[in-house]
Copies of this chain bind each other. A is one copy, B any other.
Amino acid sequence: MARFFVSPDEIQSDFMVLTGDNAAHAKVLRLKCGEKVTVSDGSGRECVCTVSDVSPGQISLVVDTISDSKTEAAVQVSVFMAFAKGDKLEHVIQKATELGAYEIIAFPSARCVSRPDAKSLVKKVERWQKIAASAAEQSGRGRIPTVHTVDSYKEALSCAAKADTAILFYENEKATTLKMALQEKPYRSVSLLTGPEGGLEPSEVKEAMACGLKVCTLGSRILRCETAPLCALSAVMYDSGEF
């Protein structure tokens, strides 16, 4: 079933109209009267609707049912990823959205080679949010993960520490596994923090521990900076009973 995102105030209990990009998308899909579609407010509420009229630039819908989305993960996972070169963040945003991440936060750290300035960041975040929206649509999610940035590593740590379980992955940690960290106590929210291409500095790891983050290994193989967050996210979703 095709899925469209509208703003929460556009969700109505009886009739709705798709316009703009949604109408253009509906045209590409060649939607016809009588077909069923899902319309989501991007925050977890969604309607199943029947197409009642197709006009240029406007698709009319009759609302059949409204309910909470059934495709959102029970656990809220926040993915904290250091700024990385090339299109690695785009890649992680797309995949993390499919895998059910609640939000993705990009942050600067000591060894980041990529250091976008404030002006280019505004454009980047806009682009990243579009990637998340498109991946949410394709994967059938009821919520579009928010993508944002923080100005400092310190700020990333203090945001990450708010979760029930906050974890930093470090290649020099050999003893504490993700499984140990997750089994310590029940969790409804998890933060996963990973470093840039060159890794995190030992002083940054210490700083994270002081903020209450647990330092864990992702195994004996060195994962690229775009592989680590997705591996960890998959494992948390598995651990929390998603599949």
Contact = CB atoms under 8 A, between A and B. Distances in A.
A212 to B, nearest CB: 21
Interface string A157-187: 0000000000000000000011100000000
Interface string A204-222: 0000000000001111111
B221 A100 contact: yes
Given A230-B234, A234-B231, A243 B222 contact: no
A225 to B, nearest CB: 11
Contacts of A234: 230-232, 234-235, 238
B223 A179 contact: no
Given A219-B237, A243-B218, A99 B140 contact: no
A90 interface: no
Contacts of A241: 177, 179
A239 B238 CA distance: 9
A224 interface: yes
A100 B219 contact: yes
A141 interface: yes
B243 A219 contact: yes
Contacts of A216: 243
Given A178-B243, A238-B179, A243-B179, A70 B220 contact: yes
Nearest to A99: B231
B230 A140 contact: no
Contacts of A36: none
Given A178-B238, A230-B230, A140 B243 contact: no
Contacts of A220: 70-71, 140, 242
A60 to B, nearest CB: 27
Interface hub of A95, A179, A218, A242 (most chain B Cβ within 10 A): A242
Contacts of A230: 230-231, 234
Contact of A99 (B100, B141, B227): B227
A98 B243 contact: no
A171 to B, nearest CB: 9
Nearest 5 CB-CB pairings of A with B: A234-B234, A235-B238, A219-B243, A231-B234, A71-B220
